[in-house]
């Protein structure tokens, strides 16, 4: 991580943003003060969450927010990226939960007081259950419900927000939630995934128009997760399968935003699997964005095994992997950024999530020595630096995540945080990575003046 304060580093530009990130359902808890979300319901279904847990308490952030904000301030970061819980803002009867709005307004005021930029994500997967009961993201009306929610939030938050992201990783919401069913709401069927993503992207475009009206001076964009795909061999079938994976899982999400159309793949899939596109939809979806958020964790190697779907192979034997079983491959981040740069005329890019899960434990001396995470972050920062040197406009980098938290379908089994959380006591402990980041950012801050 020394590159953050190294002479000549691209990260020493005064306008380059370094931050940490969280999301609402994963840390907030205090479920009694909000409506139920699709994740609350999903957690009650047998076998859906690996450890049988839920997000009712999580990191108890709502009740510990002052202490948690003090932790953020101590890290010397430029920015904090967090998400708003839609079920904490809009009640089932359509009225506003003022207590929920106040919670976030207090966070924004505290961040502003301490000169920490607020990067607000408006949707990080926790759809109100009452909307799922009406069809969720398979119902076009949900996009317009999102528009109304964004209207309320953006008016209330005023100029205390530095940057908005409409959606976080709509691939996960649509594909994992409505096609393969391993995320909430747990719907499974190829006929659903691309319909859901179209309504999510429509919601994004509608929200962008609201943000332009209510917060014209605030950055606004979207966060997509990308996986760079590599062919297992030069065999024509493997190369073709690799391109198919890229079209399905990368281009399907970014091309509508920047080119106002889906990949040509849309003409090859069955009619029943295609989205329901209305006149004017693509113009809304392709509203100009100020930045593109890029989330990166690992790469995938693709082999044509004769099945209908591209076969993504496990991490190569002998490679370093994370606690998720994901290959540690920083070159993939450079390759991804360069590919995006080649394929599209891009707005500035922000690395909105990058990090790893490791098997972190508190030792007898009270420390959490997460050397693998330090190596991971260091090598990936160098990967970003390489992409910048090659001409990619990268304007920020956020570590995922600030805290160990509820890791969706994996419950509390995987720890992504630079801050260790004891879920029994809710005690927070700085891991070695947090200490190192804090110290290097202090040095960086001193250099920047």
Is the CB of residue 202 less than 8 Å from the CB of residue 285? yes
The residue from 28, 35, 132, 169 that is catalytic is 169
Tokens of 154: 């953006």
Is the CB of residue 29 less than 8 Å from the CB of residue 58? yes
Of 225, 227, 228, 242, nearest to 171 by C-alpha is: 225
Of 68, 50, 58, nearest to 31 by C-alpha is: 58
Is the CB of residue 315 less than 8 Å from the CB of residue 325? yes
Does 268 qualify as catalytic in the annotation? no
Residue 131 CB neighbours (<10 A)? 23
Peptide bond between residue 244 and the one before it cis (omega within 30 degrees of 0): no
Is the CB of residue 385 less than 8 Å from the CB of residue 11? yes
Tokens of 146: 């999102």
Residue 105 CB neighbours (<10 A)? 15
CA atoms of 10 and 395, how far apart (whole Å):
9
DSSP letter (8 states) at residue 368 = -
CA dihedral for 177, 34, 161, 149, sign (positive or negative) = positive
Distance, CA of 75 to chain centre: 21
Which residues does 325 contact at the CB level (< 8 Å), separation at least 6? Answer: 314, 315
Does 424 qualify as catalytic in the annotation? no
Is the CB of residue 269 less than 8 Å from the CB of residue 197? no
CA atoms of 281 and 360, how far apart (whole Å):
46
Of 216, 200, 122, nearest to 165 by C-alpha is: 122
Residue 428 host element (H or E): strand 428-430
Which residues does 19 contact at the CB level (< 8 Å), separation at least 6? Answer: 77, 78, 79, 80, 81, 117, 119, 396, 397, 398, 399
Q: Is 178 left (phi over 0), alpha (psi -120 to 50) or beta?
A: alpha
The residue from 28, 287, 353, 407 that is catalytic is 353
Give bridge partners of residue 116 from the DSSP assignment.
none
- Catalytic annotation, residues: 169, 353
């Amino acid at each position: 991580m020394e590159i953050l304060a190294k002479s000549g580093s691209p990260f020493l530009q005064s306008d380059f943003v370094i931050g940490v990130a969280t999301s609402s359902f994963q840390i907030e808890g205090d479920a009694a003060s909000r409506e139920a979300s699709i994740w609350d319901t999903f957690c009650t279904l047998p076998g859906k969450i690996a450890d049988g847990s839920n997000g009712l308490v999580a990191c108890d952030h709502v009740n510990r927010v002052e202490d948690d904000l003090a932790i953020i301030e101590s890290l010397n970061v430029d920015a904090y990226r967090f998400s708003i819980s839609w079920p904490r803002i809009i009640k089932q009867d359509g009225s506003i939960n003022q207590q929920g709005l106040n919670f976030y307004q207090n966070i924004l005021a505290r961040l502003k007081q301490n000169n920490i930029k607020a990067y607000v994500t408006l949707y990080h997967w926790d759809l109100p259950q009452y909307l799922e009961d009406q069809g969720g993201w398979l119902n076009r009306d949900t996009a317009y419900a999102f528009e109304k929610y964004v209207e309320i939030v953006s008016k209330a938050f005023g100029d205390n927000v530095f940057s908005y992201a409409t959606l976080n990783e709509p691939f996960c919401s649509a594909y994992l939630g409505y096609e393969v069913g391993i995320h909430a709401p747990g719907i499974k069927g190829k006929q659903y995934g691309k319909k859901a993503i179209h309504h999510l992207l429509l919601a994004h475009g509608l929200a962008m128009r609201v943000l332009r009206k209510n917060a014209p001076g605030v950055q606004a964009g979207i966060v997509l997760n990308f996986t760079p795909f590599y062919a297992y061999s030069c065999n024509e079938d493997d190369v073709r399968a690799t391109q198919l994976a890229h079209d399905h899982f990368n281009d399907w999400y970014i091309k509508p935003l920047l080119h106002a159309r889906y990949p040509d793949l849309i003409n090859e899939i069955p009619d029943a699997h295609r989205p329901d596109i209305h006149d004017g939809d693509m113009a809304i979806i392709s509203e100009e964005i100020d930045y593109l958020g890029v989330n990166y964790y690992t790469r995938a190697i693709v082999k044509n095994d004769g099945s209908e779907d591209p076969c993504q192979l496990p991490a190569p034997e002998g490679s370093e992997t994370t606690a998720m079983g994901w290959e540690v491959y920083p070159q993939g981040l450079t390759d991804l950024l360069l590919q995006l740069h080649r394929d599209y005329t891009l707005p500035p890019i922000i690395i909105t999530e990058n990090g790893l899960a490791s098997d972190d434990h508190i030792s007898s001396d009270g420390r959490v020595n997460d050397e693998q995470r330090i190596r991971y972050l260091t090598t990936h920062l160098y990967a970003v630096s390489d992409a910048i040197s090659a001409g990619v406009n990268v304007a920020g980098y956020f570590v995922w995540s600030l805290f160990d938290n509820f890791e969706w379908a994996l419950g509390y089994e995987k720890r992504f945080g630079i801050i260790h959380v004891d879920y029994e006591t809710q005690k927070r402990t700085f891991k070695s990575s947090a200490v190192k980041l804090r110290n290097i950012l202090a040095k960086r801050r001193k250099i920047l003046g």
